Structure 1
Amino acid sequence: MNRFGRILKHRWLDERDLARTLDDALLTRIEARVAASEKRHSGEIRVCAEAGLPLSYLWRGASARERALAMFGKLRVWDTEHNNGVLIYLLLAEHRIEIVADRGLDRQVSAAQWRDVMERMRAAFRQGEFEAGLNAAIDAVDALLVQHFPLAPGEHNPNELPDKPHLR
């Protein structure tokens, strides 16, 4: 697809399209799932979804991965005590999914494991099951964080980042 076609595709979708895909009730359930997960490990999980990329990204031909990395920084997912924050990023216009994990967790998890998490999400999304796909991703990230960063008995994970999904 040429640059102009890509720009049109991204400008065609907006916040209303995102709200139809991820309605308020779903966002509330995702927020609760993230909060429950974070009681089991010392990590932080953020979900971020965008209808389309900003024009500056489109103009220079930036990828969804580049945007996910930028949002990882902007949302301060990197700024956790144990360097074990994870961003689950969705780009509606391109049907792209990206997972960005901070170095504390990323060095423990293989690229194949991350691809498996994303493939399970993609399979659910292809069926129109956005909630099931997000739940599967959150559960998979939760399992990895419990495996590598479990809480000790009686230990509490201070909530370092918001649990509510970030929509843009």
Structure 2
Amino acid sequence: MSMWPWSNTRWSLLGRIDAAAVEAAIARAEARTTGEIRVSVAGFFRGDLRRLAERAFRRLGMVATRHRNGVLILVAPTRRQLVILGDQGIHAHVGEAFWSVLTDKLSARFHNQEFTAGLIEAIEHIGGELAAHFPPVPGGDVNELSDAVDVAQRSDSGQL
């Protein structure tokens, strides 16, 4: 995995992300689907990144979506790595290869310091797949989860 050429704190990363633009991209993507998308920036932690993502997925209530079609983009600046985790509903349609390719593309954008653009591009790809497999329901859909960029507190992202 390639290393990103920027300071490895979540505060440094958050200063480089236009959270309002990311949240607007999530809202646009979710308007076309019953799916839910979240972005989370982890603090320092020890342990396995995938387990941290699974823990954040539960903490953010993503396992409770009606169609099990939530997707989490978890960025770990202290590791200069990220994980994209889809719940069982969407994962059954797109498979592991989709998440792997998308993670590689987003990592490349981060390596080029294109943080906001990379996140928006990933959100658009995720939104497209969610819309294809989980279109909006007649009468509108309830936004089950917040669109805000989550900043995990140390206690949320501590040792696993």
For the residues of structure 2 that align with 1:109 and 1:15, how far apart are their CA atoms? Answer: 30
- Partner in structure 2 of residue 167 of structure 1: 151
Q: Measured at CA, do residues 13 and 132 of structure 1 come closer, stay the same or move farther in structure 2, by a change above 3 Å?
A: closer
Q: Which amino acid aligns with 2:141?
A: N
Question: Is the 2:63–2:70 Cα contact (8 Å) retained in structure 1?
Answer: yes
Task: Give distance in 2, aligned partners of 1:81 and 1:94.
Answer: 32
Query: Using the alignment, how far apart are the partners of 2:91 and 2:25 within structure 1?
Result: 22
- Contact 1:48 1:87 (8 Å CA) reproduced: yes
Equivalent pairs counted in the alignment come to 146
Identity of aligned residues (%): 31
| TM norm structure 2 | 0.85
Distance in 1 (CA, whole Å) between partners of 2:15 and 2:43 is 11
Which protein has the bigger helix share? 1
Larger radius of gyration: 1
1:115 aligns with 2:100: yes
Gaps of 5+ in 1: 1-11
TM-score in terms of structure 1 length: 0.81
Residue identity opposite 1:164 in structure 2: A
Give the Cα separation in 2 of the matches to 1:68 and 1:155. 33
CA distance in 2, matches of 1:91, 1:128: 15
Tell whether 2:20 aligns with 1:21: no
Partner secondary structure for residue 89 of structure 1: strand
Give, in whole Å, the separation in 2 of the partners of 1:31 and 1:40: 15
Shift of 1:37: 1.0
Q: Partner residue of 2:155? A: none
2:34 to 42, 57, 63: 42
